[in-house]
Amino acid sequence: MKHEKHSESPDGHDEAGDRGDAAHHEKHEHNHEHERDHDDGSPEHDHGHEGHDHEHTQSPATTISLAISGVLVAVGLGLQWSSAMAPESARWIFVGAMLAGGWFLLPSAWASLRRLRPDINLLVIIAAIGASVVNQWGEAATVVFLFGVAEWLEGWADRRARRAVEALLEIAPKVAMVKRENNFTEVPVAEVKVDETIAVKNGMSIPLDGEVLSGESAVNQAPITGESVPVDKKKGDQVFAGTINGEGSLEVRVTKAAGDTTLAKIIRLVKDAQEQKAPSQQFVDVFAQYYTPAVTIVALLIFLVPPLAFHGEWNVWLYRACVLLIIACPCALVISTPVSIVAGLAALAKRGVLVKGGAHLESIGRLDALALDKTGTITEGKPRVLSVTRISQASEDDIVRAAAAIDDHSAHPLAAAVVNYARERKVDFKRAENYQAKSGRGAEAVIDGHPFFVGNHRFTHELGVCSPEIEKLLGEIEGRGESVVVVGHRPHDGCKGEVLGIIAIGDAVRPNAKEAIAELHAVGVKKIVMLSGDNQRTADFIARQVGIDEAKGDLLPDDKVEAIKKLCASHAVVGMVGDGVNDAPAMATASVGIAMGAAGTDAAIETADIALMKDDLGKIAETIRLGRRTLRIIRFNIGFALTLKALFLVLTLLGHASLWLAILADTGATLLVVANALRLLRVPADSPVPNTVGASK
């Protein structure tokens, strides 16, 4: 984890600063209170589907009874239309169809009647009874059957939208090969202890989070990070439960128990997110709370007023009242939002993006400004050698060898970068002798009996080895926001000393950063700001390099919070991208906080509203795009359902609607909004994900 920096030390590096995350926890406490306020289980928060269990409508008994009801309706209508049976005789077939197709509606209907709060089930039962009273037995049976089918379809859609999370449960093995008493034994994963060694054969799923002790292999991490390209793993690398081992064989030290793995945490978070209500869903719930009783009263008035006040026919107006009750059933309206939200959450989970609830999914869909931390977000978060410039006749390897021999004594990040670079290039070096650190400037040491130095720009002046040519080169490197390590012979015994070369070190920009920023602009983010504790010159250079609109440097954590507040004042919805821990105050202040590279980082997963399991900036644009698409689908579904209700209300009052047409329109609308919402589950061709994750059949 990175620590943003504020004050610049003489060698161009910044000093670490800590940040608390109290503000973020305060934000989440507020969010949880908000959820309780809107979903406390009290009657006034029900939306008309109360007491209805989609698991129940998907049970084998319900499915069989619906099939029987459908057969009886078809037989009864066929006999009636062919005049092979008198309407009075066909009545008993239709009664059987109503009982088979509507028995599971009765408990909810009776409960809502006792509370005097009509729900969808009660409306259908009343409409069926009314149609029977006026001898429309065929229509009454069809109403009950088609409504049962609609409810069954809602349950199916709900289960399909949640299938991605259930599939996650299936991908982790139930047993692991554990090394005990020098033998590998098959043990249930729940019984494997932390620090035990497990063996993972080629082609097997990894059962628990851990660290590779031996072996090398390419591991498919798509179930956790959403990335389709396998990642090479070797000794010391981290692996996650549920990921798939490639051709190699691995021995892994377990680092987390079964209930604490990254996969287990993902499953819990996504399940919790699916239970939370988004703002649009809260709107639908409140709307249905008043809508269903209102239309019941209107239907009663339509039945009573014309016959009593205008001498209308009781049978005609009872029939129209029943039609209105069917039209009033808000099936399509109620199902439109939750299925869309769950489908959107599941689709992002398949792509390695965790969104902690529908509210955050809607927020990311409305995002119009985005702030990004620099270190570890735009850049890779660790200094590395970017270039080696020769000043003397010494070769690049000689320059690197001398610098590494001295820097091997130091724990400074710049020194570590030089040593790592030497090892990567396979440059052999022997540790220097008589090492002396020069605070804030560099170090001196003896290599093969000769005095050498490594240091920053200031140190070259102190040693008197800086020439106009070197000054120009140092200025160019520092102008790019990079740190310099000057390597040379130290002046001694009357010798002037000389510079052998200059090593440029920087926190390299992520390879896809420029493309990702362009994509963010393309999906409609109006303003992108980079916030950094590094100096303003470095921040400006990196911002220009990747196409960011504005850069703010020299920021302490409190300064970042103020920058977010200013963005919030000028933009409706503001996002903040960071590592989920050090940037917690700024992420908490933003409308939505996004953590980068959260896989295996418990704090990052817990802290952010949205967690990107992989260090991939491109995932942010993908998340925004899917959030916007989810919002479009929700708006269309709600608008379509309300428009259809209004249209059929007018047709009913004018006498141009029938029970047949009403129930077909209601069922058709439900099917359309469900199919529209489930489109979110489709994974585009450019984002391949293994079939083991979230496959919905």
Q: Which two tokens stand for residue 615?
A: 């260090």
Beta carbons of 249 and 215 less than 8 angstroms apart: yes
Cα of 557 vs its chain's centroid, Å: 25
**Residue bearing tokens 């808000």:** 330
Q: Which two tokens stand for residue 271?
A: 């399940």
Helix then strand then coil, % of the chain, to nearest 5: 55, 20, 30
Indicate the DSSP class of residue 40: S
- Please give the helix or strand (H or E) that residue 386 lies within, else none: strand 379-390
Q: Which active-site residues does the annotation give?
A: 373
**DSSP-derived 3-state class of residue 99:** helix
Strand locations in 172-323 (E): 175-180, 183-188, 197-200, 210-214, 217-220, 231-233, 238-239, 244-245, 250-254
Of 666, 675, 673, 667, the residue nearest 648 (C-alpha): 666
CA angle 524, 526, 528 (to 5 degrees): 110
CA angle 465, 469, 474 (to 5 degrees): 80
Of 38, 638, 684, the residue nearest 359 (C-alpha): 38
Cβ partners under 8 Å of residue 84, min gap 6:
none
Name the phi and psi angles at 377, rounded to 5: -115, -65
Number of H helices, E strands in the chain: 25, 24
**Distance between CA atoms of residues 6 and 179, nearest Å:** 48
Q: For residue 50, how many other CB atoms are within 10 A of its CB?
A: 17
Beta carbons of 389 and 595 less than 8 angstroms apart: no
Q: Which residues of 301-332 are buried (b: 16+ CB within 10 A; e: fewer)?
A: ebbeebeeeeebeeeebbbbbbbbbbbbbbbb
Name the phi and psi angles at 452, rounded to 5: -125, 165
Beta carbons of 483 and 12 less than 8 angstroms apart: yes
Cα dist from 87 to 84, 92, 94, 125, whole Å: 10, 9, 10, 21
Q: Is the dihedral of CA 217, 220, 225, 231 positive or negative?
A: positive
Cβ partners under 8 Å of residue 641, min gap 6:
330, 332, 333, 336, 669, 673
**DSSP-derived 3-state class of residue 219:** strand
Beta bridge partners of 394: none
Cβ partners under 8 Å of residue 678, min gap 6:
157, 160, 161, 339, 343
Q: Tell me whether residue 630 is exposed, middle or buried, using C-beta atoms within 10 angstroms of its C-beta: 0 to 12, 13 to 18, 19 or more.
A: buried
Q: For residue 408, how many other CB atoms are within 10 A of its CB?
A: 18
Cα dist from 483 to 475, 486, 598, whole Å: 10, 10, 29
